[in-house]
Chains A and B, each alone.
Chain A
Amino acid sequence: MLLIVCPWCGEREHSEFSCGGEGHIARPDPRTATDEEWADYLFMRQNPKGVHHERWFHVHGCRQWFHMARDTVTHEILAVYGIAEKPPALDGSGEGGR
């Protein structure tokens, strides 16, 4: 069970949230994108073994979206930041949650 510090509600269990998958994916211009670029945008994912920047939705809480940097092996939450923010530099202190 992850304990996630929602930027608005504070520390909650992960079952209150829903994960929206990889964050920071830029949508190409559909008028000019090739099939390959569009497939990459729609389907290809980094799926890293390690730090993953992902979107989360507090679906059973404040219903706000936000970003989280989480290690996919240890589940350590390294940072929680706004939905419009760029990923912060990570120092590995894990202050965003547990």
Chain B
Amino acid sequence: MKYSIFSLLRQARDHHRNWPQAWRSPEPKPSYDVVIIGGGGHGLATAYYLAKEHGIANVAVLEKGWLGGGNTGRNTTIVRSNYLWDESAHLYEKSLQLFEGLSADLNFNVMFSARGVINLAHNEHDLKELARRGHACRLNGIDYELVTPRQIKKIAPIVNISRNSRYPVLGGAMQRRAGNARHDAVAWGFARRADDRGVDIIQNCEVTGIDVADGRVTGVRTTKGPIKARKIGAAPAGHASVVGQMAGLRMPVESHCLQAMVSEPIKPVLDTVIMSNTVHVYIGQSDKGELVLGAGIDGFNSYSQRGGIDVIEHQLEGLCELYPIVRRLRVMRTWGGIVDICPDASPIVSKTPVEGFYMNCGWGTGGFKATPGSGWVFAHTIAQDRPHKLNEAFDLKRFETGSLIDEHGAAAVAH
């Protein structure tokens, strides 16, 4: 069914009793052309673009829990492309451009809102770093402009720009085309459209093993029985090492718990997103009125979706100093997700030494913004058995050749 004002009116007339299911819940077939491991945004986007761009619809997406219940539903929904290095800038910009047309493409409102993202500078080094990144972005055709404290105050009056602040705001940089989107809707939109094109989305189906014969994948073993596959694409986020090991691969990632939280809902006070690299505070406001706050990762490996309270305390200390208005607000919920951190803080979207096995992982703390772009290049990589120009630098081989894409200092938040 096409969603539109007319379908809404028709359903309203019937008291909304006849809305069809957005996607089927089929039992797995014995075999598929492509099996995607992981039903988060990246996996679902991959399945959608496999069907749409490459005509491969005999695809199953296997999800061990429910759709988008991992990091897709746990992030702070920021979308931006202001990266320093050319490789990252091009990939994330592709994703941002896909986001701009995503609601129309998917016929599903992903609520992408280009409300702008501001990075604050709290010292001279930050200012120089932002200027450098601004120039790099401009050379790549990406908008990213320097803004003064006064301009920042005008855009976001709740920022404390007092010179006596513990974290003085010396300036900042803004990407106006950046913003945020409704994270769940991105997963649901991709799922619905992929299903329309014949993709089987199978929830509560955990992959327990990968069958490899003569250096080539032949299928997966799951909690719903074995499934044969000509090709397997893994988008397992925090479980990249676990899934990689099933295919006999060692991965260069470590899993950490990353936390975020929301305040109780308040009236609109902030219509942009503000990030502070140096004190690791970032803040946005959801349509429900909650302030959406991102904290950092715990400093040790973890597969438990619960993080340390000290990380939250550290984040809130900086937050209260920068935004004094929030001091009397209560935190309503905190949660954690398991992110896979690469040594160079850049993702891996790559073929692997196992033929027919492709890996999409290592997005670390910033994978949501890449969801459509990641799926788009991963679908290309799987369908053509070679990377697209946009992701060839994000190869697993780079750890041997040394061609790392070092975004540790360049990503918009400290890792």
Q: Which A residues form the contact surface with B (CB < 8 A)?
A: 1-2, 13-15, 18-19, 21-22, 35-36, 38-40, 42-49, 52, 54, 70, 72-75
Contacts and interface: CB of A to CB of B under 8 A. Distances in A.
A43 B399 contact: yes
Contacts of B253: 45, 47
B400 interface: yes
Contacts of A14: 300, 308, 310
Given A1-B309, A48-B241, A54 B251 contact: no
Contacts of B400: 35-36, 38-39
B242 A49 contact: yes
B241 A72 contact: no
Contacts of B19: none
Contacts of B343: 42-43
Determine chain A's interface SS by DSSP, over half rule: mixed
A18 B308 CA distance: 13
Q: How large is the interface on B (under 10, 10 to 19, 20 to 34, 35 or more residues)?
A: 20 to 34
B255 A72 contact: yes
Given A1-B308, A1-B309, A39-B399, A45 B251 contact: yes
B301 interface: yes
A75 B239 CA distance: 17
B333 to A, nearest CB: 19
B254 interface: yes
20 contacts: A14-B308, A15-B308, A15-B310, A35-B401, A39-B252, A40-B250, A42-B343, A43-B343, A44-B252, A44-B399, A45-B250, A45-B253, A47-B251, A47-B301, A49-B255, A52-B301, A54-B300, A70-B300, A73-B303, A75-B302
Nearest to A44: B250
B299 interface: yes
B304 interface: yes
Nearest to B309: A1
Interface in B295-317: 299-304, 308-310
Interface string B244-263: 00000011111100000000
A73 B304 contact: yes
A80 to B, nearest CB: 14
Contacts of B251: 44-45, 47
